[in-house]
Structure 1
Amino acid sequence: MLSRPNRITRGADYKAVVRRGARCAGAHTVTYVRASDDDHAVRFGFIVSKQVGSAVTRNTVRRRLKALCLRELPGVRAGSDIVIRALPSAATADFAVLHAEVARCLARRAA
């Protein structure tokens, strides 16, 4: 699980990353990355709407995305804020496919 310093918790921070961050779209997710010159820890946020499915499905997708981000955490540049928005197809996507998609977007935007 991502520790507290590695999570975006404020709505204003989510909004800033989505509006001003670089965007990388995939088949199952849309990743927004906003790099700053600050030396704070890398922070992740997740948006999983009701279009993805029931509460159980949404929480499963969110847990999978958190696990993927934990794996990719060492390769991300410090000071980055990252928001990953799950698309409805993420509910049925294979874990390996999601991992490849998230890793590709993070390598392009946050490395």
Structure 2
Amino acid sequence: MDSPPFADASALPWQPVAPGVERQVLAHDDGLMLVRVRFEAGAVGTVHPHPHRQVSYVETGVFEVEVGDERRVLRAGDGFVVAPDVLHGVVAHEAGVLLDVFSPAREEFLD
């Protein structure tokens, strides 16, 4: 099921993901999904792969980002791309928010 054409973030639930990490699905259809992920300082987005393409934007905070064999520290305004099935993860050096776009949509996020 597709989300409505407009996302009122104040009315959308946050889902716990891991200690100090929660996500909010903002909008989606079968082929595309926009997700906001909020991290407390020190929280970890565990290294993992998935079959979806992913583009992420650092809205706020400072993150150590690992994509494949590369690791970089990214700050607000920076971004990264993850190809399907590539290992990737983050560590929040400061509290912050990532905006993640997935193609196709992550159906497991809708359960």
TM over 0.5: no
> TM-score, normalization: structure 2?
0.28
**Structure 1 length-normalised TM:** 0.28
Q: Which has the bigger relative contact order, CA under 8 A and spacing at least 6?
A: 1
Greater strand percent: which structure?
2
